Amino acid sequence: MKFFIDTANLDEIRTAHRWGIVDGVTTNPSLIAKEGGDFISTIAEICTIVDGPVSAEVVAEDADTMVRQGKLLARVHDNVVVKVPLTVEGITATSRLSAEGIKTNVTLCFQPMQALLAAKAGATYISPFIGRIDDISWGGTELIAQIVEIYSNYPDLDTQVLAASIRHPAHMVECALAGAHVATIPFGAMRKLFNHPLTTSGNAAFTKAWEGVPDSDIEGQVTAWLAKNGR
Ligand code: G3P
């Protein structure tokens, strides 16, 4: 499962990228507005940090405008993926953008047939919003499993399931078990993936024990050993 980071905050993207586990970035109009910066400069800057797909969303009601915006966004950087809402006009625009070889991420998916529509339109990614489904007392990760199964029934569809609206590490476990191709995660939830109290306490115990080792300078010892053994 690929890990995308779901933010437009450049500091968060830089920090997570340094961890070496970020495969791409998703943004949406709310995330861009929250940071307060210029939309296109922000997308371009993200593309210099992460060498992977970067979703940038069109904002329009009609397919013609979405297609025009999408074509322009795709020119900002080769890694830009045009994010399109799952409306009649959005699916129409996705079909036209796909036909021109432009990558798309169809967003705001809440039921399996919407995902099949996006796949038939040639979407690169479908984004089911699992947290918002949990918010209304249904099963968000059940939706992921249904879409993965439906897509696998029709191997000629190559749309990837990009689980979105992830709120916590348990969502990530469920997405991975369900076979999501990608999960996009807010920075805070991504940071929590590292945590376990037994990792923390175990690491503290190893560090404390090492204080009793006579020569604990690993770098100095290894360098000397390598020189002595001609390595
Ligand atoms: O990628 C979509 C995501 O940003 C939506 O998350 O938490 O607003 O439901 P949320």
Tell me, what amino acid is at 133? I
Within the chain, strands assigned E span 2-6, 24-26, 54-57, 80-85, 104-109, 125-128, 160-163, 182-185
**Do 160 and 215 fall into the same domain?**
no
Q: Which two tokens stand for residue 54?
A: 């970067």
Residue of 6, 35, 81, 84 with the most ligand 1 atoms within 8 Å of its CB, for mutation: 6
* Pair 19, 191: CB distance under 8 Å: no
**Do 113 and 203 fall into the same domain?**
no
In sequence order, the 6+-apart residues with CB closer than 8 A to the CB of 228 are none
Give the integer Cα–Cα distance in Å for 122 and 101: 10
Q: What is the CATH classification number for the domain harbouring 9? A: 3.20.20.70
The atom number, within ligand 1, closest to the CA of 184 reads: 1
Ligand 1 centroid to residue 164 C-alpha, Å: 6
Q: Could you tell me the residue range of the domain that residue 209 belongs to?
A: 199-228
231 residues of the chain, pLDDT tens digit each: 999 999 999 999 999 999 999 999 999 999 999 999 999 999 999 999 999 999 999 999 999 999 999 999 999 999 999 999 999 999 999 999 999 999 999 999 999 999 999 999 999 999 999 999 999 999 999 999 999 999 999 999 999 999 999 999 999 999 999 999 999 999 999 999 999 999 999 999 999 999 999 888 999 999 999 999 999
Ligand 1 binding residues, C-beta < 6 A: 6, 26, 28, 129, 131-132, 164-165, 184
pTM for this structure? Answer: 0.95
**Do 12 and 94 fall into the same domain?**
yes
**Do 10 and 66 fall into the same domain?**
yes
Ligand 1 centroid to residue 19 C-alpha, Å: 22
How many domains does the chain contain in total? 2
**Do 186 and 212 fall into the same domain?**
no
**Do 146 and 207 fall into the same domain?**
no
* Pair 86, 116: CB distance under 8 Å: no
**Do 126 and 224 fall into the same domain?**
no
**Do 220 and 185 fall into the same domain?**
no
Q: Specify whether 103 is catalytic.
A: no
